[in-house]
Amino acid sequence: MGESAKAFNERSGKLRLFSSNPNPSEGNRALRLIKRQYPSFLVITLALSGLVVANVTDFRIGTYILAAALSLATVFRLTWSRFAAGWLAVRHRALDTAILLGFTISLVVLAIVVPA
Contacts for 55-58: CB closer than 8 Å, 24+ residues apart: 58/116
Across 50-59, 79-88, 93-102, the highest mean pLDDT is recorded for: 50-59
pLDDT given for residue 92 in this prediction: 79
Reading phi first (left if > 0) and then psi (alpha if -120 to 50, else beta), residue 13 is in: left
pLDDT given for residue 7 in this prediction: 46
What is the tens place of the pLDDT at every residue in 17-76?
555 555 555 567 767 767 777 778 888 999 999 999 999 998 999 999 999 999 998 888
pLDDT given for residue 1 in this prediction: 46
Q: Which residue has the higher pLDDT, 83 or 53?
A: 53
Q: Which residue has the higher pLDDT, 10 or 73?
A: 73
Q: Which residue has the higher pLDDT, 90 or 16?
A: 90
